[in-house]
């Protein structure tokens, strides 16, 4: 078994070896990068088997390890797909809610504007009616207001 195969599959292989050989401790299975040969030597010594027997055992476990890795990869891809799908649904829902809120705000703004226009027209009409029915008082109020405004603006 090559060092790269050992490194790629070690986490799964370690569990399989612990299942098969209960006498192995975590220290016996500690893997340091680039020290695969040292690890294999420790395992041969602890298990009392030859290099060929250890290689055969590890090769027998590799397909199971690769299968577990592929299974984990598949689950991760499925999980990623589910998250992307849910995120897409959330974005669609948020977009729909924002659109609905925007439309409601526009309708409320239009209604408020229309009400303000109506009130302004009503006040304008009331003012015109007052001037028509009370022309002298209106003229005196306008002159007084002009005088006060002129006094305030041109005061030196």
Interacting residues of 1 by C-beta distance below 8 A, sequence separation 6+: 40, 55, 58, 59, 62
Give, as one character, the DSSP assignment of residue 23.
Answer: T
Question: Are 15 and 61 found together in one domain?
Answer: yes
Q: Kindly report each contact of residues 34-38 with a partner whose C-beta sits within 8 Å and lies 24 or more positions away, as own/partner.
A: 34/3, 36/3, 36/6, 36/7, 37/3
Give the separation between CA 110 and CA 113, rounded to whole angstroms: 5
Residues in the chain: 156
Per-residue pLDDT of the chain (156 residues; tens, 9 = 90+): 555 556 666 777 777 777 777 777 777 677 656 566 777 777 777 778 888 887 777 777 766 666 777 788 899 999 999 999 999 999 999 999 999 999 999 999 999 999 999 999 999 999 999 999 999 999 999 999 999 999 999 886
In the prediction, which pLDDT does 150 show?
92
pTM, two decimals, is 0.42
Question: Are 25 and 35 found together in one domain?
Answer: yes
Question: Are 122 and 138 found together in one domain?
Answer: yes
Question: Are 36 and 103 found together in one domain?
Answer: no
Question: Are 112 and 51 found together in one domain?
Answer: no
In the prediction, which pLDDT does 148 show?
94
In the prediction, which pLDDT does 54 show?
76
Range of the domain at 16: 3-88
Question: Are 84 and 95 found together in one domain?
Answer: no
């Amino acid at each position: 078994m090559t060092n790269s195969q050992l490194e790629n599959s070690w986490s799964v292989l370690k569990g399989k070896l612990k299942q098969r050989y209960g006498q192995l401790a975590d220290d016996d299975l500690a893997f340091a990068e680039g020290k695969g040969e040292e690890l294999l030597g420790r395992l041969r010594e602890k298990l009392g088997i030859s290099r060929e027997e250890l290689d055969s055992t590890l090769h027998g476990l590799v397909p199971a390890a690769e299968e577990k890795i592929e299974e984990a990869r598949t689950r991760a891809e499925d999980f990623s797909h589910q998250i992307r799908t849910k995120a897409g649904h959330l974005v669609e829902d948020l977009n729909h809610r924002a659109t609905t809120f925007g439309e409601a705000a526009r309708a409320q703004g239009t209604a408020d504007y229309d009400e303000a226009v109506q009130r302004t027209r009503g006040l304008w009409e009331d003012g015109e009616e007052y001037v028509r029915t009370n022309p002298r008082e209106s003229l005196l109020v306008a002159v007084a207001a002009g005088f006060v405004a002129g006094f305030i603006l041109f005061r030196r």
